[in-house]
A and B are shown apart, each in its own frame.
Chain A
């Protein structure tokens, strides 16, 4: 197992590369989901104020 993670002595470079890739992708997904949620909340509030005076 530890041999697998050592990757013939190059483990550090390989795992840093894969980890940063995974991390950036996850950050992007979370950022997009949160961004959309913020917009949705704002629009829900806007829709409520719009339909009230009607």
Chain B
């Protein structure tokens, strides 16, 4: 099936190939819903552990809520990174993708978008519920969603480079978190910083524009790095 999509994509130009890549990845993800749900439940469970481990006091929880939800989002992203290229690598369709006449970085962008739609966006949509669980209110919850909306695509973009570097490497799942988590730190700092600023009534627009800048930078640079990493790994 994947063969058909890819060859027809070759004939219809870059955009068609890009869309074919996206549709194919989404279809595959829909067929393996359990995988997607696993990392979502992981997100929920990790956040729910904090009241048990720290304190059920809403005042305490409200203070750590942005950080807890953001860290849980980073970890949940880690869980799903392995799937981004591994299946394609195993069934050989990744090698065919490399042979396509289109710029690999653009095709990578399609795969990353699919990954974000399947594993990043659900986190954003689920976050208000978890925010309420930890005692966040109206505006703070909205702000949390906005930061996650801006930040989770960056996680998928940077994560893609890590996933490509560790493709087919033994212990790749743990290794990818070692490589990628330190690079997530700026997003974590400004994501939680914005919500904290919002809670304490300070200006948070600067944080949001920085998160936006990170997103633009990641969009421009990481697909190239990921493409290079894929060529190194598949070669």
Q: Do chains A and B touch in the complex (CB under 8 A)?
A: no
Please give the residue numbers on chain B whose beta carbons come within 8 Å of chain A beta carbons, in ascending order.
none
